[in-house]
Amino acid sequence: MSQLTELRLDPTLCDAHGFCVEMLPEILTLDEWGYPLLASGSLVVAVPEHLVSSAKKAVAACPVAALRLVTHKR
């Protein structure tokens, strides 16, 4: 059984500190206003297995707890 990990952003909490983008540049970039843009273009992005530990660092780095990792079994 494999796992599917998703990174979710609460846009009402995000305040453009930008630390997450430093931790996870593979799937997060900054938009022109300094807010994280997820590779999916929406508020949820799938995290490949080799990036899960970086994603955890990104979640921990957010000073306003706007990011969350959710794991689904499949």
Partner 1 sequence: MDLRALAAHERQFGPLPEIEGPRLGRPGALVHEIEKAGLRGRGGGWFPTARKIHAVVESAAGRRAWSNGRKPVVLANAMEGEPASSKDAILLRHAPHLVLDGIQVLAATLGAESAFIAVHRGSSVIDVVARALADRNDRVTIELITPPARYVASEESALAHWTGDGMATPVYADRPFQRGVNGRPTAVQNVETLAHLALIARFGGDWFASIGTPAAPGTSLVSVGGAVNSPGVIEVATGTPVAEIIKRCNGFSNEISGLLTGGYGGAWVQAQPLLAAEWSPESVTAAGGVIGAGILWALDARECPVQELARVARWMAGESVGQCGPCRFGLPSIADDLDVLATREAQVADLHRVNARLPLVQQRGGCKHPDGTARFVTTGLHVFHEEVAHHLRGHCTASMAAGSLPIVHPRKTPVPFPGKDFK
Nearer residue to partner 1 within complex by CB, 32 or 50: 32
Element (H, E) at 37: strand 36-38
Q: Can residue 42 be called a binding residue for partner 1 (CB under 8 A)?
A: yes
Distance CA 7, CA 61 (A): 14
Distance CA 7, CA 70 (A): 6
User: What is the maximum span of the chain, computed from C-alpha positions, in angstroms?
Assistant: 40
Q: Can residue 31 be called a binding residue for partner 1 (CB under 8 A)?
A: yes
Nearer residue to partner 1 within complex by CB, 43 or 46: 43
Q: Can residue 72 be called a binding residue for partner 1 (CB under 8 A)?
A: no
Where does this chain bind partner 1 (CB under 8 A)? 10-12, 14-16, 31-35, 37, 41-43
